[in-house]
């Protein structure tokens, strides 16, 4: 399958009648729909294009309501603007109706007497010393756009292993490593950690995703990011998991929680 580079994909977004519009090529789909990280990234792209001079992104919440299929329309509206923060609500609509409802919180930095963080990056081998990750059969189309090297944990369908994985990841399409839209698309590229427990291919669907940004302008020196995903629970057809992403020099840049529906 011919791959559409991420930079070309986002450049194809059009501004029409106060909304942003895009149609996704098949190589960016998970089945018939966009995967959650891409839908989130497109919402962010439309938001920053619609509202100039926003302060840095501090957090975001996404509710994945329906499939993001066909021609996608994205509308972003400021819900509240204060002295240092801006809250924006963004809706992504596809051929089947409302697909994603997102809320972004942007906030300016301020002087603080506190400086604390406990998210120390695990000591793992570098990406050039780790086995390739995105290579199992029947993987979704969109995963072909990413390079991954397994630093710790297991592939999907490894019964008996712990439901977690730590993976070096980067876009195959070289671009600006300080581009937050690119990072958001990458942050959801891994499969749910609960799929490690599976014995056969099964369908999944992200229900909600909440992220907190730990750096106002995240970047990584060599294009690689280290992502750790751990399933806290997997029962009754749902899995709750947590995610952390570090830059390659060990700086934590993003934490997230995700609720995933698992069918089968």
pLDDT digits (tens, 9 = 90+) for 79-88: 999 999 999 9
Write down the pLDDT at residue 12.
Answer: 94
- Dump strand ranges (E) for 52-182: 57-64, 71-81, 85-94, 97-107, 146-153, 164-171
Question: H helices of the chain, where?
Answer: 6-11, 36-50, 180-187
- The answer to whether the CB of 252 falls within 8 A of the CB of 244 is yes
Query: Quick one: DSSP state of residue 66?
Result: S
Residue with the bigger pLDDT between 20 and 1: it is 20
Q: What is the pLDDT averaged over residues 12-23?
A: 94
Domain annotation covers residue 134 = yes
Residue 177 has pLDDT above 80, yes or no: no
Write down the pLDDT at residue 139.
Answer: 86
Domain annotation covers residue 117 = no
Find the CATH number of the domain harbouring 182: 2.40.160.210
Structure tokens at 185: 């698309």
Domain annotation covers residue 103 = yes
For residues 127 and 247, what is the distance between their CA atoms, to the nearest angstrom? 12
Write down the pLDDT at residue 16.
Answer: 92
Number of domains in the chain: 1
Q: What is the pLDDT averaged over residues 154-176?
A: 93
Residue matched to tokens 């830059």: 247
Write down the pLDDT at residue 83.
Answer: 92
Burial of 205 per CB tally in 10 Å (0-12, 13-18, 19+)? middle
- The answer to whether the CB of 192 falls within 8 A of the CB of 207 is no
Residues whose CB falls within 8 Å of the CB of residue 230, separated by 6 or more in sequence, listed in order? 163, 164, 193, 241, 242, 243
- The answer to whether the CB of 206 falls within 8 A of the CB of 190 is no
- The answer to whether the CB of 244 falls within 8 A of the CB of 120 is no
Q: 187-227 pLDDT, tens per residue?
A: 999 999 999 999 988 899 999 999 999 999 999 988 999 99
Residue 148 has pLDDT above 80, yes or no: yes
Mean pLDDT of all residues belonging to the chain: 94
Residue 142 has pLDDT above 80, yes or no: yes
pTM for this predicted structure: 0.95
Q: What is the pLDDT averaged over residues 73-101?
A: 97
Domain annotation covers residue 116 = no
Long-range contacts of 184-187 (CB under 8 A, 24+ apart): 184/37, 184/40, 184/41, 184/44, 184/211, 185/6, 185/37, 185/38, 185/40, 185/41, 186/37, 186/146, 186/225, 186/227, 187/37, 187/211, 187/227, 187/243, 187/245, 187/254, 187/256
Q: What backbone phi and psi angles, to 5 degrees, belong to 40?
A: -65, -45
Write down the pLDDT at residue 14.
Answer: 96
Domain annotation covers residue 12 = yes
Write down the pLDDT at residue 107.
Answer: 97
Which structural domain, as residue segments, surrounds residue 56? 6-109+123-263
Residue 178 has pLDDT above 80, yes or no: no
């Amino acid at each position: 399958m011919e791959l559409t580079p991420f930079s070309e994909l986002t450049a194809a977004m059009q501004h029409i009648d106060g909304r942003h519009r895009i149609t996704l090529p098949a190589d960016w789909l998970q089945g018939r729909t966009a995967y959650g990280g891409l839908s989130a990234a497109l919402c962010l792209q439309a938001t920053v294009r619609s509202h100039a001079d926003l302060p840095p992104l501090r957090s975001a919440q996404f509710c994945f309501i329906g499939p993001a299929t066909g021609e996608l329309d994205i509308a972003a509206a400021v819900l509240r603007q204060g002295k240092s923060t801006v809250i924006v609500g963004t809706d992504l609509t596809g051929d089947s109706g409302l697909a994603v409802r997102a809320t972004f919180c942007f906030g300016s930095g301020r002087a603080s007497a506190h400086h604390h963080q406990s998210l120390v990056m695990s000591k793992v081998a570098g990406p050039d010393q780790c086995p390739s990750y995105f290579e199992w059969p029947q993987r979704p189309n969109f995963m072909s756009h990413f390079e991954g090297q397994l630093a710790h944990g297991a592939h999907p369908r490894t019964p008996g292993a712990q439901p977690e994985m730590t993976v070096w990841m980067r876009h195959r399409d070289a671009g600006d490593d300080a581009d937050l839209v690119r990072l958001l698309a990458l942050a959801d590229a891994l499969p749910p950690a609960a799929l490690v427990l599976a014995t056969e291919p099964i369908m999944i669907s992200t229900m909600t995703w909440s992220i907190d940004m730990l750096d106002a302008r995240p970047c990584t020196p060599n294009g690689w990011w280290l992502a750790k995903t751990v399933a806290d629970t997997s029962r009754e057809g749902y899995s709750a998991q947590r995610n952390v992403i570090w830059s390659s020099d060990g700086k934590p840049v993003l934490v997230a929680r995700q609720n995933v529906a698992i069918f089968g």
